[in-house]
Structure 1
Amino acid sequence: MRRSRGRVIYVDSLEDFDRRLAAGARSLSGWRLRALDLAERGRELRTVDVAGSLFLGCVLHADDEASIRARGAVVFPAVPDSPVDTYRTALYTPQELFDAADYPQSLDARVYAWSQRGSSRDGALAQSLHDHSIGLALEQWVRGRTLVGVMGGHAAVRGETSYAHGARLGRLLAQTHTVATGGGPGAMEAVNLGGYLSGFDEGALDEALVMLSAVPRFSPRIDDWAKAAFAVRDRFPAGAESLGIPTWHYGHEPPNAFASAIAKYFRNAQREAILLELCQAGIVFLPGAGGTVQEIFQDACENYYADESSTAPMVLVGREYWTERYPAWPLLQALARGRAMEPHVHLVDTVEEAAQLMRPGEPR
């Protein structure tokens, strides 16, 4: 949520800037002025105390910029030729990222294409500033919410049993927590779908699963895949909130449309660490491959060194999968033995068992 009062004030329009000065503001300390055309506000800027203020991508005359810098303001210039708003103050919505009927023309696709053109100093600066801004917006968004994470493979296909299980898990978890995923397709989309429909009856989820099964995969046409998702949203409007944290590092995979808030990063390592850190209520791991295995042990490392007060539950779903196909469970058990995390790691067979373990007050 964008702050308009208190120590930090975001000023995102020239009208808001003028209104505040007209109301008697004489110090801009703590102000974050974002993408304002201040070329005609030089006189006003010279009459106020600008120490402690931050000008992000604002248009300023050279002498005005020199003046406010000399008087204690910090100025970050606009980054040229960047398709992203490097100083944005809110997370993305699905509608923002899928803002064109033809996916290659959408913001999501344009940003990915831009990120693949080769590195430059300006491009690297834009990406770093963008990810920093997304991090700040995410801090605001999670306040007052208790997040439970779900990790799983992108290969789960609409219409298959594994996809339906992910959706039912998301629906169950969202009864008591805010659901967070990696924000992509497959199991991640399924869980966000379940979270989105958690306020509807089970029949709504069954109907949505049938609707989505008509377009099982995002390839070969992301447009058709996304349209099916937005058709579900139109059929069941005003769904519950959930979070997706995808990355343009995997730009060939589109974000899913069922996360109400999308914190999309350029840097995958930063995104992975943040996703694990935010899920203080614990993480459920659905069947997946390399990426999911990495996430299991990245989370396990955090828990291995944690004390009892900061250990978060870990639940692996699929006894045969995690003991035979990818035997992560025996190693996780061995790591946990004798540590504070030992009673907080679990192996179950069903998503219902996993959701029960994540209910507040349940023994873990």
Structure 2
Amino acid sequence: MTIEGQWGEPDGAERPQEKQRGPVVLRRSRLREPTTTDQRLLDSRGPSDWVHTDPWRVLRIQAEFVEGFGALAEVPRAVTVFGSARTPREHPEYATGVELGAALAKIGCAVITGGGPGAMEAVNRGASEAGGLSIGLGIELPFEQGLNPWVDLGVNFRYFFVRKTMFIKYAQAFVCLPGGFGTMDELFESLTLVQTKKVTKFPVVLFGRSYWQGLYDWIRDSMRASGKIGDKDLALLHLTDDIDDAVGIVQEAYEAWEATH
């Protein structure tokens, strides 16, 4: 077999007919497109299922990144706080969230949450009432949730991964209040990014010893003990029950980051 036959056109075959659709090349059965791109754009009588195709979703994803970057570009230094949407307003953890949001606002930090109810609302409320910038990054869910009333600057997203990028890009620290699967997802993604140095000088605070101690012990006694992580990785986590301690960790990390920039 010749090189041309191996890597170019099949031996003894003529070059197949083709049509280009932007950067996409169509051949054989794919040539049978009855309309052009312009025609599909301009002909309002055509089918509407194209808005659910993957190429169209790429544009939606791009638009979400553009909107998020545009809305948050001028945000001052900020702390992303994760926590459960199911925390009742009368629960002590809600009061803690309000206190934490206010304390972060008082050192000049904006707070970023998922914008929902529960612990997220508490943190947004504390920051807003203390005169700080309260940011909520919402997500489209099967059940109606919406942004809580204490959000000053809100952005709603369709895609979790776009929203997560905004949580990380515009914050200098993470604080995790007690939460469920969503909080765990955000916690471990944050740890992975810090561990792999995708983000630097980035403390991760677990607030609430009675809630997080079991997870921390498992990470130490199973993950670290079996060599899956090292001592430096375990040291990325800060476990505390004290608002001043949590805020101090955030402030110290920010000052260290500022000294190198």
Aligned counterpart for 2:219 among listed residues 299, 311, 331: 331
What CA distance in whole angstroms lies between the structure 2 residues aligned with 1:283 and 1:153?
15
> Aligned Cα RMSD in Å?
3.2
Aligned counterpart for 2:176 among listed residues 252, 265, 285: 285
Amino acid at match of 2:174: I
What CA distance in whole angstroms lies between the structure 1 residues aligned with 2:208 and 2:122?
17
Residue 121 (str. 1) matches residue 50 (str. 2)? yes
**What's the counterpart of residue 185 of structure 1?**
117
5 Å-filtered alignment, 1:153-172, equals 153-172=84-103
Q: Over residues 147-174 of structure 1, what are the superposed CA-to-partner deviations in whole Å (9 max), with x where a residue is unaligned?
A: 2100001111112211111011011112
Deviation of the 1:263 alpha carbon = 1.5
Q: Whose strand fraction is larger, Structure 1's or Structure 2's?
A: 2
Deviation of the 1:362 alpha carbon = 6.2
Change in CA separation of 1:345 and 1:351 when aligned onto 2, cut-off 3 Å? same
On the 8 A contact 1:151/1:181 being kept in 2, the answer is yes
Residue 80 of structure 2: SS of its match in structure 1? strand
Q: Over residues 220-274 of structure 1, what are the superposed CA-to-partner deviations in whole Å (9 max), with x where a residue is unaligned?
A: xxxxxxxxxxxxxxxxxxxx42211111135432221211111111112322243
5 Å-filtered alignment, 1:226-305, equals 240-279=132-171, 281-305=172-196
**What's the counterpart of residue 149 of structure 1?**
80
**What's the counterpart of residue 320 of structure 1?**
210
On the 8 A contact 1:180/1:242 being kept in 2, the answer is yes
What CA distance in whole angstroms lies between the structure 1 residues aligned with 2:135 and 2:164?
14
Moved over 6 A (4+): none
Amino acid at match of 1:269: F
Change in CA separation of 1:323 and 1:173 when aligned onto 2, cut-off 3 Å? same
On the 8 A contact 2:78/2:110 being kept in 1, the answer is yes
On the 8 A contact 1:138/1:263 being kept in 2, the answer is yes
Deviation of the 1:128 alpha carbon = 5.3
Residue 132 (str. 1) matches residue 62 (str. 2)? yes
Q: Over residues 293-327 of structure 1, what are the superposed CA-to-partner deviations in whole Å (9 max), with x where a residue is unaligned?
A: 121111111111117x7241100011121123xx1
What CA distance in whole angstroms lies between the structure 2 residues aligned with 1:252 and 1:329?
36
Scaled by the length of structure 1, the TM-score of the pair is: 0.50
Deviation of the 1:142 alpha carbon = 2.8
What number of residue pairs does the alignment pair up? 207
Deviation of the 1:177 alpha carbon = 1.0
What CA distance in whole angstroms lies between the structure 2 residues aligned with 1:258 and 1:173?
15
5 Å-filtered alignment, 1:21-60, equals none
Unpaired runs of 5+ in structure 1? Answer: 1-65, 67-76, 81-118, 200-239
Change in CA separation of 1:258 and 1:126 when aligned onto 2, cut-off 3 Å? farther
On the 8 A contact 1:153/1:287 being kept in 2, the answer is yes
